[in-house]
Amino acid sequence: GVKFPEKGKHGDMFANLDEATKEKAKSILEQEKSGKLTREQAKEELTKLGVKFPEKGKRKDMLADLDEATKEKAKSIFEQEKSGKLTHEQAKEELTKLGVKLPEKEKHEDIFAGLDEATKTKAKAILENEKKQLEALNVDLPQHKFFMK
């Protein structure tokens, strides 16, 4: 099965920190959670403390074979999507025009294929419940279609 990182996800990032610094880092994360700090501010503060962030390699791979100018355009499109200026669909379209190969997402029908309606409904309810539990643990879920339905 799939192994989700335990609640100690942040623990890995904090592995090389002493106790006092870990406490500061946790406090920063709490402030981000409560809305006192933005994600960027929290990241900046944590970086100052020496917290190493895991690289999110997904975008880098998609942009790997692009020249610098095109990479910058692609990053700008990601930013515009994040800020809400572009919808996900518009961003996808723009990126495709630039030659960015977007990873194919599995259609959610695939994971429920062959199930009768009652079973599908149960499966979706389980996924929804799992999603809530993972979010409560502060796990960032990929935006898969089957989590959204």
pLDDT classification of 149: cutoffs 50, 70, 90 = very low
**Cα–Cα distance measured from residue 72 to residue 95, given in angstroms and rounded to the nearest whole number:** 11
Burial status of residue 46 (CB atoms within 10 A of its CB: 0-12, 13-18, 19 or more) = buried
- Cα 27 versus chain centre, distance: 21
- The larger pLDDT score, comparing residue 11 to residue 104, is at 104
| pLDDT for 63 | 74
| pLDDT for 54 | 60
Checking if the pLDDT of 8 tops 60, the result is no
pLDDT classification of 34: cutoffs 50, 70, 90 = very high
* 71-96 mean pLDDT: 89
Report the predicted TM-score, pTM, of the whole model to 2 decimal places: 0.34
Burial status of residue 91 (CB atoms within 10 A of its CB: 0-12, 13-18, 19 or more) = buried
Residues 90-107 have pLDDT tens digits of: 988 998 888 877 766 544
Q: Three-state SS for 88? A: helix
| pLDDT for 124 | 80
| pLDDT for 123 | 80
Residues 105-130 have pLDDT tens digits of: 544 445 666 778 888 788 888 888 88
- The larger pLDDT score, comparing residue 11 to residue 111, is at 111
In the chain, the largest separation of any two C-alpha atoms, in whole Å, equals 54
